[in-house]
Amino acid sequence: MDTAGNEYQFSFSSSDHPGVDPNAGDRLLQAQWDGVISGSEFALIVAESKALPRRVTAVEIQHGLALVAASRTGTMETIWLPSDSPDCCGGPEIDSYLFAPQWNGSVARGIERYYCGSLTQRNEARPARELSQWIGRLLLRARRSDGGHK
């Protein structure tokens, strides 16, 4: 989601890009590994993404952006350290990025990390917890509007 409330779905599959190294071709994965992304890199990811229906109001976006800014002061706390499992290859992460004209890019600020469906790390700042809950409500709303197929 961008700061205007537009939602995007990014996907990279090596089967769709034969001969391209997935580690080099997946721009989102690169940004997550680096933890840093420039405005132009973000624009490329958006350009390669599928636009989704708009599901948030301007008021919700302003509230979400305030939470992103306030959550940047928190640190990540470890809930548990996962052991390697052949049945699981990781899990989703929620990161926030803030861009400002005086910066050349943005550094990811962790909100939550999951492994095999379990929370492993979270940002301990109260605004980060609220941001995570807000994102969860948006995802639930998206699933309901898609008939549960998301």
Start-to-end CA distance of the chain, whole Å, equals 16
Closest CA to 132 of 78, 92, 84, 104: 92
- In the structure, what pLDDT confidence band is assigned to residue 150 with cuts at 50, 70 and 90? very low
Q: Give CA separation, 48 vs 38, 136, 143, in Å.
A: 16, 24, 23
Q: Is the pLDDT of residue 73 over 80?
A: yes
Query: What does the domain layout of the chain look like in residue ranges?
Result: 7-145
- The contacts of residue 9 (CB under 8 Å, 6+ apart) are 49, 50, 52
pLDDT tens-digit readout, 86-128 = 666 667 778 888 877 777 778 888 888 888 878 888 999 999 9
